[in-house]
Structure 1
Amino acid sequence: MASDSGKRAPQRVVKCPQCGGDSIYSPGNPYRPFCSARCKGLDLGAWASESFRVPDETPPDDQPFGDPKLQ
């Protein structure tokens, strides 16, 4: 049986994706990876309003694919 010396592993601190501040990344932080309910809500709001977008290089349906000079 291993003895418990009373030492705990150091808590992992990460950068909050919303504000950039310190956030404790552990099961004890209900907002992880965010630092607070405010940051978590701001991030959710940005997703809901479609502020996070991935650029799409596909041309609209009425434009042909490829280089127009080659057609």
Structure 2
Amino acid sequence: MTEAQPPAPRHVKCPSCGRPSLYAPENRFRPFCSERCKLHDLGAWANESFRLASPEDPGLDAGSAS
């Protein structure tokens, strides 16, 4: 019986800069490639640059316009 070899390291695209990033426990910034990219993304969330879309509900304004 042969021993199973560990899978090859997986690389993903860094969500911030697009460079390859090691997606493994050795990369403490994963899925980002560096601390700089991680902090850049965190800053964008803090500045509300990223927003989640919400459905518009036309009934909300209709009740208050009396």
Same fold (TM over 0.5): yes
What range is the shorter-chain TM-score in? Answer: 0.7 to 0.9
Unaligned runs of 5+ in 1: 66-71
Corresponding residue to 1:50 among 48, 51, 63? 48
Output the amino acid matched with 1:40: K
Counterpart of 1:18?
Answer: 16
4+ residue segments displaced more than 4 Å: 2-5
Counterpart of 2:37?
Answer: 39
Distance 2:17 2:23 in 1: 15
TM-score w.r.t. the length of structure 1 is: 0.70
Q: CA RMSD in A?
A: 2.5
Number of residue equivalences: 62
1:1-39 CA-partner distances (Å, limit 9, x unpaired) = x7658x542100001011111000000001000000010
Percentage of matched positions with identical amino acids: 51
TM-score w.r.t. the length of structure 2 is: 0.75
